[in-house]
Amino acid sequence: MGSDAPRLRGEQSEDFCGAKVSASLNIPRHIAVIMDGNGRWAKKRGLPRTAGHTAGADSFRRAARYCRKLGVEYLTVYAFSTENWKRPEDEVAGIMGLLERYLRQALRDMEKEKIRIRIFGDLAPFSDKLRTMCQECVERSKVYSGANVNICLNYGGRDEIVRAAQKWAADGCPALTEERFGSYMWGGDIPDPDLLIRPGGEKRISNFLLWECAYAEMYFSDVLWPDFDEKQFDKAIEAYQHRERRFGDVGSGLT
Ligand code: IPE
Ligand code: IPE
Ligand code: MG
């Protein structure tokens, strides 16, 4: 960072995994991440795609710890989409196996760090084992409130909106406002993302948080997800801190 660049953080105090961490000004309250690029990461190394997903799972655990250190209240990650079932059967099976193994370990870590876990998405198509594991960890972590990680599994933004409409209808169609409709989303009780990060080079949303990201700042990076480390998070947050969020109003310099 150049000397005249705005400080990423207020007082830099603790060194964590090679990146500076501290109490901060203007850290996004909620960061959403499309964890993309695992397959290409593996291909570059002549490894099977599953090895990329394994590295991606490690990157997720590191990201959760780092965001907690930074004071990000909510981290929402896209782990498996409603469209990812289209992938070859062996890749889907590999991802499911990894989810069972790595999620268990990640969840243990998160319990140690007192992180509250929520799962967004319909777990019905998953194995009994995976579903039970997800439900248990959601229940067990309900007692924590400081840092929150939301894992999107079998998640699709359009699917979420259709389900919200179904829940609203099942509620007897109460008078509808944006706020009430939003409360039927998976994360209906949490604030919308401030920053959406997509590593992996693609510049699209791929059906992620269509409702919630109405005013999220977008950050796209060519770095593949398994390589998206603490320094990359710092860069994304620094870019966010340079943005002026107007929410449809005039800019602060124009009033
Ligand atoms: C994202 O990485 C992980 C999942 C979608 C499960 P990809 O597997 O999409 O990696 P690329 O985009 O092929 O590199
Ligand atoms: C988005 O990545 C889904 C996840 C990261 C879980 P994809 O790799 O599935 O997205 P597309 O196919 O490139 O749009
Ligand atoms: Mg991809």
Query: Whole-number mean pLDDT of the chain?
Result: 89
Q: What does the pLDDT read at residue 252? A: 81
Cβ atoms of 198 and 219 closer than 8 Å: yes
- Measure the CA dihedral 244/26/214/162, to 10°: 180
- Which pTM value belongs to this model? 0.91
Q: Can 84 be counted among the known catalytic residues? A: yes
Tell me if 74 CB under 6 Å of ligand 1.
Answer: no
Q: Is 73 in a helix, a strand, or coil? A: coil
Q: Can 15 be counted among the known catalytic residues? A: no
User: Could you say which residues of the chain have pLDDT below 70?
Assistant: 1-24, 254-255
Q: Does domain 14-240 have CATH number 3.40.1180.10?
A: yes
Ion ligand 3 contact residues with beta carbon within 5 A = 36
Ligand 1 atom nearest residue 81's Cα: 5
Q: What does the pLDDT read at residue 254? A: 61
Q: What does the pLDDT read at residue 201? A: 98
For the stretch 153-200, pLDDT in tens is 999 999 999 999 999 999 999 999 999 999 999 999 999 999 999 999
Q: What does the pLDDT read at residue 12? A: 37
- What DSSP character marks residue 167? H
Tell me if 80 CB under 6 Å of ligand 2.
Answer: yes
How many CB atoms within 10 Å of residue 126?
Answer: 19
